[in-house]
Structure 1
């Protein structure tokens, strides 16, 4: 992250928080040193291997989490067992909705991930006591709403190529650029999950990936590693002017 966007180094904050992206770009950026110290006393960091659930749909919520590393996929299941991926979250996103007692989605690590969890009661209290903290959570919710509306457009109106390009642009936008403007990342979802997320078949996803590769918009190695030489070309292929 750009150093100019990072919060000033706070020597009174817990050491573990000073280098954490959630401290600089996430909800924790609004907390005072005293609040961070209290939060740190009750926080738990843990690694979640790809494919493991963080929380299941319908489960009682006893904690919230910051994503420190990796990608988490959100899905909803119907009564007959059909499932749909409805979103992705990245570091330093906050997982959970204060004051809601039951999860409305299943959150599963799409890649190996690391999260920092806090007791629900503590966060609910901090939301009530810290207006900036509440505002930051509100801003994230509005951002997710905007992204959901954009994704409705993607699913409802875009061509298959634009859908695949939109997905790749979403992932690339959250990846760390290398060598200037070149962005490189591993796909966080399988071809089957990408197809589910985009409402396409696996074969269509593979064909559109191949077309984007032949057009020089992306480079694919080992069927999973993607390099984007020019992010603007990918954005244009996604149908976003």
Structure 2
């Protein structure tokens, strides 16, 4: 694993908790001022470059933490050598298991990623002492379970068009895409090949459905990885439901 740190000495975090860009949705969002000071004392910032392996399946994971910037993919290498992506973590999401020593999945940086990390054992101790931190982590875990169930519906029941619409709408909502007079501007976190693997489609089908959404005015393509969503509600309706 290659580690690229914005704070190589690990002594001072780059951003104080009071100025954190994910303070309203991170694991610490319920925490009191005292709890934040305890978290700030044990946190470090790490930056990973595109493709860097943050953690590997079955390996000891000494740290847990929040995604501050960028997107992390979670995947598992199958026995036949194929890789199956099982999830994406966006800013505010929590990476790691505080009560588990080994990583359940490979975590790989999609683009440049910044993590706010905590020593796992020290974080586990804080969990036992902080009802607010514990409750927030539980809420995030339940949200993750709900998202996994929604993804089962997407993979099992939705058409190819609905899958692509769902993925684009999900990316817009989870990444908090900036709104302009033209609509929401988003950067797709995955290549079309990776999107095909993630959604259980072929690359040709992904390209065809993106083209169809463009022709129907639901998206405006800027380039292969950037697009504008003129009406997110309309795209959500195209996804087959209003909960993405």
After TM superposition, the score normalised by the length of structure 1 is 0.90
Q: Deviation of residue 112 (structure 1)? A: 1.4
Q: Distance in 2 between matches of 1:72 and 1:200?
A: 21
Secondary structure at 1:188 match in 2: coil
Q: Deviation of residue 74 (structure 1)? A: 0.7
Q: Distance in 2 between matches of 1:223 and 1:95?
A: 28
Q: Distance in 2 between matches of 1:98 and 1:164?
A: 33
Query: What is residue 74 of structure 1 aligned with on the other side?
Result: 74
Q: Which moved more, 1:152-161 or 1:180-189?
A: 180-189
Query: What is residue 136 of structure 2 aligned with on the other side?
Result: 136
Secondary structure at 1:24 match in 2: coil
C-alpha contact (below 8 Å) 1:22/1:28 kept by paired residues: no
Q: Deviation of residue 188 (structure 1)? A: 0.7
Secondary structure at 1:74 match in 2: strand
Note closer, same or farther for the CA distance 1:181–1:138 as it changes in structure 2 (3 Å cut): farther
Q: Distance in 2 between matches of 1:15 and 1:118?
A: 14
Q: Where do residues 41-56 of structure 1 align in structure 2 (5 Å cutoff)? A: 41-56=41-56
Q: Distance in 1 between matches of 2:125 and 2:181?
A: 43
Q: Which moved more, 1:206-215 or 1:17-26?
A: 17-26
Query: What is residue 222 of structure 2 aligned with on the other side?
Result: 221
Q: Which moved more, 1:139-148 or 1:73-82?
A: 73-82
Query: What is residue 85 of structure 1 aligned with on the other side?
Result: 85
Query: What is residue 183 of structure 1 aligned with on the other side?
Result: 184
Query: What is residue 166 of structure 1 aligned with on the other side?
Result: 166
Q: Deviation of residue 148 (structure 1)? A: 0.6
C-alpha contact (below 8 Å) 2:178/2:186 kept by paired residues: no
Structure (1/2) with the larger helix percentage: 1
Q: Distance in 1 between matches of 2:41 and 2:128?
A: 19
Aligned length: 228
Secondary structure at 1:21 match in 2: coil
Q: Distance in 2 between matches of 1:63 and 1:181?
A: 41
Q: Distance in 2 between matches of 1:133 and 1:127?
A: 6
Query: What is residue 106 of structure 1 aligned with on the other side?
Result: 106
Secondary structure at 1:97 match in 2: coil
C-alpha contact (below 8 Å) 2:46/2:116 kept by paired residues: yes
Gaps of 5+ in 2: 1-13
Gaps of 5+ in 1: 1-13
RMSD of aligned Cα (Å): 1.6
